[in-house]
Amino acid sequence: QVQVVQSGAEVKKPGASVKVSCKTSGYTFTGHYIHWVRQAPGQGLEWMGRINPNDGGTKNTQNFHGRVTMTSDTSSSTAYMELSNLKSDDTAVYFCAREGGSGFHFDYWGQGTLVTVSS
């Protein structure tokens, strides 16, 4: 069965970087895009970007002004999202999610990784 497991919670200082991992299993890793979505405390869902594990191609929203880097490792079926120059309003739960086979939706989600940015 499909499983998506993310790395644990992180506490970072402003200006630092954080790298969240998303390990998948139970399907062909290169056959589905992986997306990243974040949720600030008490807020809604914000799409950040996606990676094609087949070729490493990425697309992301302009909202992060080049601070987001998404990568993948096909040998371990793991995707990564690194967010740099952290600010206090980057405090959020970060989810990775697999894009469904027919596209345009997210069918399997990781459990979420809480990133807290605090001095």
Q: Does 30 bind other proteins (CB under 8 A)?
A: no
* Shortest distance in whole angstroms from residue 115 CB to other proteins: 15
Q: Does 111 bind other proteins (CB under 8 A)?
A: yes
* Shortest distance in whole angstroms from residue 22 CB to other proteins: 12
Instruction: Work out which of 78, 79, 86, 110 binds other proteins, going by CB under 8 A.
Output: 110
Distance between CA atoms of residues 83 and 18, nearest Å: 5
Residue 17: other Cβ atoms inside 10 A: 12
CA atoms within 13 A on the CB side of 88: 2
Q: Does 27 bind other proteins (CB under 8 A)?
A: no
Looking at the Cβ atoms of 15 and 31, the one nearer to other proteins is 31
**Is the Cβ–Cβ distance between 94 and 112 less than 8 Å?**
yes
**Is the Cβ–Cβ distance between 53 and 83 less than 8 Å?**
no
Q: Does 103 bind other proteins (CB under 8 A)?
A: yes
Site residue total, other proteins (CB under 8 A) = 24
Looking at the Cβ atoms of 28 and 63, the one nearer to other proteins is 63
Q: Does 64 bind other proteins (CB under 8 A)?
A: no
CA atoms within 13 A on the CB side of 26: 9
Bridge partners, 100 (sequence order): none
